[in-house]
Amino acid sequence: QLMILGLAANLELRHLPLGVYDLDRSEHSRAFAERFFHDEYFTPAHPIEKDAEIDRRLQRGAIGAALVIPHGFERDLVRGRSPRVLFVSDGSESTTSMIAVQYAGRIARSYGAAPTDAATSDGATTDRPPSLARSPSTAARLVPEIRIWYNPTLESRYFMVPGILALVLLVITMVLTSVAVVKEKERGTLEQLIVSPLSTGQIVLGKLLPFAGVGFIDVLLVLAVARAVFVVPVSGSLLLLLALSSVFVLTTLGLGLLISTVAETQQQAMMTAVFFVMLPMIFLSGFVFPIKNMPQPVQWLTYLLPLRYYFTIIRGIFLRGVGLEILWPSAAALTAYGLAVLGASVLRFRKHLE
């Protein structure tokens, strides 16, 4: 855990996919766009050709930000005017968005600065176009216009409250299920159920359905508190959110049942759930640290965590207002993961009973 979480705990911005919408298509506009990729902060995505592509690609997660260079960029820059450029950032990832805005503003302000400005106050070197460097009297400055979509004010509660919904469901359904079943084994009441006329399937349902109901009630409670207390709106479909939350609950129930077949005591069940499942999920799912900042092997590891897909779903519905046409990859992955885990845990539990 120290090795994996130490690599994952990174708040620096690295290789954020940036889409460039160059309306000027000039030498200076290309040079300015290239300036964003000189460091490791941004990585070039496929160029944007239409206005509507910005929103669509942000919603799909294909890009984390977009740079829009307007018509007349080169003309204004050469004449010593201060051209305005637009930088659009995805505010649903508030931490990443805040850092990206800072980097983008620094790059824009340093580009085209006067030749005497060898470096900015924060240590960024200037990148003056060759044609401007030959005109010392020209002191054109770029004016970046920052727009943050889906969370314009970068309110942290918009980022945290949907995540807390996932954590509440994880704790309630997984931890309590594993501890409750192990408690039955410790007391010997599970053996009494085995010799009863109940089938194995009925025993499994009897153990899972109560916590599934509690989890669903928790979803409604968190949604009510998020709306009434924290004023976090649900921009997308509430029914879709409830449906996909039910899929996540089935997944966590399966994990809890699987843990109960391994642990022999309640303490073992609690430690297994917290140490081997909860902590890795919390740190590697994107709730605390952006997944894009993690090393590539750790990023591959995150695909094994159902919480990663659920975070994508709830932030997409809460903040971006997208539907199943955008979220279907995450929904399909979460469903497949849930069915596999639940099926394996039921089979193992049945074998354990027999």
Query: What is the phi-psi region of residue 330: left when phi exceeds 0, alpha when psi lies from -120 to 50, beta otherwise?
Result: alpha
User: Could you tell me whether strands 16-22 and 42-44 are parallel, antiparallel, or unpaired per DSSP bridges?
Assistant: parallel
pLDDT of residue 8: 61
Please name the amino acid found at residue 270. Answer: M
Average pLDDT of the residues in 241-248:
92
Q: Rounded mean pLDDT of the chain?
A: 81
3-state secondary structure at position 41:
coil
**Where does 45-175 have alpha helices with state H?**
51-60, 73-78, 94-110, 130-133, 156-169
Average pLDDT over residues 264-289: 85
State the number of CA atoms in the 13 A half-sphere of 270 facing the CB.
Answer: 5
Q: What is the pLDDT, as a whole number, of residue 10?
A: 60
CB 69 within 8 A of CB 33: yes
DSSP at 47: P
Q: What pLDDT, in 10s, does the model give residues 23-44?
A: 999 988 998 999 899 888 899 9
Please give the residue that has the higher pLDDT: either 125 or 81.
81
pLDDT band at 307 (very low <50, low <70, confident <90, very high): very high
Token pair listed for 79: 């004449």
98 pLDDT above the threshold of 60: yes
Residue 114 has pLDDT above 50, yes or no: no
Per-residue pLDDT of 139-195, as tens digits, reads: 456 667 778 888 777 777 787 788 888 888 888 888 888 888 888 888 878 777 777
Strand 143-149, strand 84-90: pairing: parallel
CB 64 within 8 A of CB 150: no
pLDDT score of 3: 63
Cα separation, 119 vs 117, whole angstroms: 5
pLDDT for the residue 138: 42
Which of 90-99, 265-274, 308-317 is predicted least confidently?
Answer: 90-99
How far apart (Å, rounded) are the C-alpha atoms in residues 1 and 6?
8
Query: What is the DSSP-derived secondary structure letter of residue 184?
Result: H
Report the C-alpha gap between 4 and 163 in whole angstroms: 21
Per DSSP, 305 falls in state: -
Upper half-sphere CA count for residue 269 (Cβ side, 13 Å): 25
Q: Which two tokens stand for residue 289?
A: 């640290």
Does residue 128 contact residue 115 with C-beta atoms inside 8 Å?
yes
Q: Which segments within the chain are labelled E, that is strand?
A: 16-22, 42-44, 65-69, 84-90, 143-149
SS3 254: helix
Confidence of residue 283 (pLDDT cuts 50, 70, 90): confident
Q: How many residues does the chain have?
A: 354
pLDDT above 70 covers what percent of the chain? 86
48 falls in which pLDDT band (50, 70, 90)? Answer: very high
Contacts of 41 (CB under 8 A, 6+ apart): 13, 14, 15, 16, 100, 103
pLDDT computed for residue 146 by the predictor: 79
Answer whether 108's CB lies under 8 Å from 144's CB: yes
Confidence of residue 136 (pLDDT cuts 50, 70, 90): very low
Using pLDDT thresholds of 50, 70 and 90, give the confidence band for residue 4. Answer: low
Q: How far apart are CA 236 and CA 65, in angstroms?
A: 21
Q: How far is it, in rounded angstroms, from Cα 133 to Cα 139?
A: 10
- The count of other CB atoms within 10 Å of the CB of residue 191 is 12
Beta bridge partners of 86: 68, 145
Q: Which one is predicted more confidently, 100 or 290?
A: 100
**pLDDT of 140:** 52
Q: Indicate whether this model's pTM tops 0.85.
A: no
